[in-house]
Amino acid sequence: MSGTDWSALGVNLAATAATAAAVLLATFAIAVRRGLHRIVDIAWGLTFAVVATATWLLSAGHGDDSRRLLVAAATILWGLRLSVHIAGRSRGHGEDLRYTALLDKAPGNRTLYALRSVYLGQAALVWMISLPIQAASYSSAPLDALAYCGLALWASGLVFEAVGDHQLARFKADPAHRGRIMDQGLWAWTRHPNYFGDSLVWWGLYFLACTAWQPALAVLVSPVLMTLLLTIGSGKRLLEKHMAHRPGYAAYTARTSGFLPLPPRRTARGTPASTK
C-alpha cells in the first residue's frame, strides 16, 4: 500500500478496537437491564457503522479522500440498514432461542459468560472484519478499476440482501402463510439470500482495500471470516438447525441451494418440488 502512514494506521487500529468494545459494552448494559440479549443483533451492523465513522475521522489527511469517503459511506449504509431491519423484525418478540440455549450451558455466572462469549466476542469480530475499511482509509492510491469493481460487488450484495429481507418480511406478514416455508423470489434460488448478500458486501469492501498485494493479503481474513461465519458459523448452520423440524423444510433444502443462488433443482418428473 504505497504512501500509507503505517504509524497512523496503527493508532487507528487501537482506537477502533476500543470503539467496537465501547459500543458492545453499552449494548451489554442495555441488554442486562432489559433482560434481552437479542439486542446484540441490532448492535452488530451499528458497531460496523461506528467503526467506519471513527476510521473516516481519524484517517483525515492520511489517505485518498475519495477512497476514504467511499468505504465509510458504504459500510455505514450497510450497517445502518441491517440494524434498522433487525430492530423492526425483533419488535414485540422475547428472547432469541439461540441466546437462551447458549446461556443455559454457561459455566458459572450467566451474565459474565454472556459478556465474554457474546459481547466482547462480537467486538473482536467487528474489529477484525472491518480491517479492509481501515486499511483502505489509509491508502493514498486513487480509486482504480479494482475499486469500482469492489463497489459494484458491494452494491450487488446490498441489493440482494435488502430484497431478500423485504421478500421474507412481506411473506411473513400475510396470515395465509403462517406455518409455511418461504420458497418464493430470491428464496427459491438460495435458502439464505440475506447471508449471500452479506458475503458479497464484504468481498466488495475487501476489493476497495486492494491497492497492492501486501495489504490485500493482510486483510483477506475479513471477507473469508465473514463468509465462514455466515455459512458454517452462527448464521446458516444455526438457523437451519432451528428450522429443521418445520414441515416442508426437508423438501425445501432438497431443491434449493444452501448459499450460492442457483436454479431450483428438479424432481425426477422434471418439475420443481413444492411445500404447498
CA distance 3 to 142: 11
Q: What is the pLDDT along the chain (276 residues), one digit of tens a residue?
A: 445 666 788 889 999 999 999 999 999 999 999 999 999 999 999 999 999 999 999 999 899 999 999 999 999 999 999 999 999 998 888 888 888 888 888 898 999 999 999 999 999 999 999 999 999 999 999 999 999 999 999 999 999 999 999 999 999 999 998 888 999 999 999 999 999 999 999 999 999 988 876 667 878 999 999 999 998 877 677 777 777 778 888 899 999 998 999 999 875 444 444 333
- Give, as one character, the DSSP assignment of residue 272: B
Closest CA to 138 of 268, 276, 8: 8
CA distance 95 to 72: 32
Sequence-ordered list of residues with C-beta below 8 angstroms from that of 206, at least 6 positions apart, any chain: 132, 150, 216, 219, 220, 222, 223
- Grid cell of 46 as nine digits: 451499528
231's enclosing H/E stretch is: helix 221-231
Residue that is written with C-alpha cell 469480530 in the block: 125
CA distance 42 to 263: 32
Q: What are the structural domain ranges in the chain? A: 1-141, 144-264+272-276
CA 196 from centre of chain: 10
DSSP secondary structure, 177-210, as one string: GTT----SGGGGTBS-HHHHHHHHHHHHHHHHT-
β-pair partners for 190: 257
